[in-house]
Amino acid sequence: MENLTYTHNAEAASVIARFYDSPPMAYVHSYGCQQNVNDGEKIRGVLLDTGFGICENVEQADLILFNTCAVREHAEQRVFGNVGALKKLKEKNPRLIIGICGCMAQQKHIVEKLRASYPYVDLVFGVDGIDRLPAMIAQRLQKGRRYLEDPRERNAVVEEMPIRRDSGFRAWLPIMYGCDNFCTYCIVPYVRGRERSRKPEHILAEFRDLVSKGYKEITLLGQNVNSYGKGLEEPMDFSDLLNLLCTVPGEYQIRFMTSHPKDASRKLIDTIAAQDHLCKHIHLPVQSGSNRLLQQMTRHYTVEQYLDLVGYARQKIPGVTFSSDIIVGFPGETEDDFQATLDLIEKVRYMQLFTFIYSKREGTRAARMPDPTTHAEKAARMDRLLKAQDAIAFPMVAAMAGQTVRVLAEAAGRNPGTINGRLDNNLVVEFPGQQDLIGQYVNVRLTGSRAALLTGEVAQSNRT
């Protein structure tokens, strides 16, 4: 693996400055996961470093860039629909540059579709091209030709990338990139590449900087954070990294995602129990409650091993809560397989579930598996799953009434004059409050709930 350092591209910036009469404006939209959101923040940072301004409206833009997701078919169709809607803008303004980047652009068949059917798309590049974006734009402006990069894996980590963060108090911090698991349903290893861990000193430096700037919640990112440390010169695993970061003084909390059950260890659970800065909520995607399907998915754990880890966490971490991902309708899923999933969620009693109907991804092994179950059957199972989860989670949420909790005020609530705050366990509470509370820790007394949303009131005037 190659470690690179971002450098300002003065030549590209000069080309861009000469082409426009005034500073050009860029519109950047990211689809998909938190890693994509963080990539979008870096794209904005690089564009600002090159002389662009950032706008929130495509009509004002000289450059429109969609940072895409490939995990599910629906996400890809949304992108194609939104790109199609830009054709009229390009006809009105031929100087407009339209770009597609990210996970979709890492697939050869997608690049060929853009090349053949979307001639007004000017730039196409994959997940590892952000630092080279200024040079791509300059080449497009100088030569007047489209820049469509063939998908390729770049075994490198680029440090010190400029970034324009979306929030002043919540931050995403990647600790590694790529995935080595190759679950049979998942396209991520093919578009994000193999696992590459950032050096701990680089992570620590970025973390210290965030804390010094007053960031209150920092989420560590990786396709599988539990496998952090592969390829490093000095031995360090994810638990070691968490302990290192928790030595930084300050008022902050740490979350992390995503945590693969096959690599989640008792050492990790012990670390979460011991460190006050670590949220006592664990997102542990199980995908299915059927051992047969877990084997078909190449998940490398059994339901029994998963439940053992959950049980150990409940012993060691008082009040720990869990969330998970569930795939409904994986190829060949039977009613017995689905019932096993219902049985599992009843045993674990998740506070939150993120549920998906299986989406066929070209190039994955699951895409070649027989899939006789109809979409209507899958939708009916999804409905049953959601109702079962609501029956578990809603009473758990309601039972929290009367507690006083510390929350991070995040945004305006749905009702006028209210604020939404996030608890340690990842639930959201809506409470009356002024906008100046946003970005601060607040003590809130929980008074009730509406489905999965808690309601409350400020418990005391001072902010903590």
Query: Using CB atoms within 10 A of its CB, is residue 41 exposed (0-12), middle (13-18) or buried (19+)?
Result: buried
Residue 153 falls inside a structural domain: no
CATH number, domain of 185, equals 3.80.30.20
Alpha carbon 78 to chain centroid, angstroms: 18
Residue 95 falls inside a structural domain: yes
Question: Are residues 329 and 354 located together in one domain of the fold?
Answer: yes
**Quick check: 372 pLDDT over 60?**
yes
For 41-58, how does the pLDDT look when each residue is reduced to its tens digit (9 = 90+)? 999 999 999 999 999 999
For 173-225, how does the pLDDT look when each residue is reduced to its tens digit (9 = 90+)? 999 999 999 999 999 999 999 999 999 999 999 999 999 999 999 999 999 99
CATH number, domain of 454, equals 2.40.50.140
**Quick check: 418 pLDDT over 50?**
yes
Q: Do the Cβ atoms of 419 and 411 come closer than 8 Å? A: yes
Q: What is the pLDDT of residue 154?
A: 77
Residue 85 falls inside a structural domain: yes
> Final residue of a domain: which of 382, 398, 414?
398
Query: Using CB atoms within 10 A of its CB, is residue 387 exposed (0-12), middle (13-18) or buried (19+)?
Result: exposed
CATH number, domain of 122, equals 3.40.50.12160
Please give the C-alpha separations between residue 187 and each of 73, 106, 190, 350, in angstroms, as whole numbers: 11, 10, 5, 26
Residue 464 falls inside a structural domain: no
Strand pairing report for 176-177 and 196-197: antiparallel
Question: Are residues 59 and 74 located together in one domain of the fold?
Answer: yes
- Give the span between the Cα atoms of 38 and 42, in whole angstroms: 6
* β strands within 175-270, DSSP E: 176-177, 196-197, 217-221, 253-257
pTM score, two decimals?
0.94
CA atoms within a 13 Å half-sphere pointing along the CA-CB vector of 382: 18
Find, among 224, 227, 234, 228, the residue nearest to 198 by Cα.
Answer: 228
Question: Are residues 241 and 296 located together in one domain of the fold?
Answer: yes
What number of helices (H) and strands (E) belong to the chain? 14, 21
φ/ψ region of 451 (left if φ > 0, alpha if ψ in -120 to 50, else beta) reads left
Query: Quick one: tokens of 354?
Result: 């993120």
Q: What is the pLDDT of residue 151?
A: 85
Residue 204, domain extent: 159-398
Q: What is the number of structural domains in the chain?
A: 3
**Quick check: 294 pLDDT over 70?**
yes
**Sequence-ordered list of residues with C-beta below 8 angstroms from that of 383, at least 6 positions apart, any chain:** none
DSSP of 384-440, one letter per residue?
A: HHHHHHHHHHHHHHHTTTT-EEEEEEEEE-SSTTEEEEE-TTS-EEEEE--GGGTTS
Q: What is the pLDDT of residue 464?
A: 46
Question: Are residues 208 and 342 located together in one domain of the fold?
Answer: yes
Residue 99 falls inside a structural domain: yes
Residue 463 falls inside a structural domain: no
Question: Are residues 77 and 166 located together in one domain of the fold?
Answer: no
Mean pLDDT confidence for 134-140: 96
Work out the pLDDT band at 462, boundaries 50, 70, 90: low
Question: Are residues 177 and 285 located together in one domain of the fold?
Answer: yes
Angle between helices 266-274 and 238-245 (to 10 degrees): 10
Phi, psi of 422 (to 5 degrees): -105, 130
Residue carrying structure tokens 């592969």: 230
Question: Are residues 212 and 331 located together in one domain of the fold?
Answer: yes
Q: Where are the alpha helices (DSSP H) in 118-259?
A: 133-143, 188-192, 200-212, 238-245
> Final residue of a domain: which of 120, 148, 176?
148
Residue 275 falls inside a structural domain: yes
The mean pLDDT of the chain is: 95
The total number of residues written for the chain in this structure: 464
> Final residue of a domain: which of 128, 148, 168?
148
Q: What is the pLDDT of residue 2?
A: 80
Question: Are residues 323 and 422 located together in one domain of the fold?
Answer: no
Question: Are residues 295 and 439 located together in one domain of the fold?
Answer: no
Q: Do the Cβ atoms of 76 and 360 come closer than 8 Å? A: no
Question: Are residues 196 and 135 located together in one domain of the fold?
Answer: no
**Quick check: 73 pLDDT over 90?**
no
Residue carrying structure tokens 């469509």: 148
Q: Find out whether the peptide bond into 258 is cis, omega within 30 degrees of 0.
A: yes
Q: What is the pLDDT of residue 461?
A: 55
Mean pLDDT confidence for 407-421: 95
Question: Are residues 264 and 221 located together in one domain of the fold?
Answer: yes
Residue 154 falls inside a structural domain: no
For 236-267, how does the pLDDT look when each residue is reduced to its tens digit (9 = 90+)? 999 999 999 999 999 999 999 989 999 999 99
Question: Are residues 192 and 310 located together in one domain of the fold?
Answer: yes
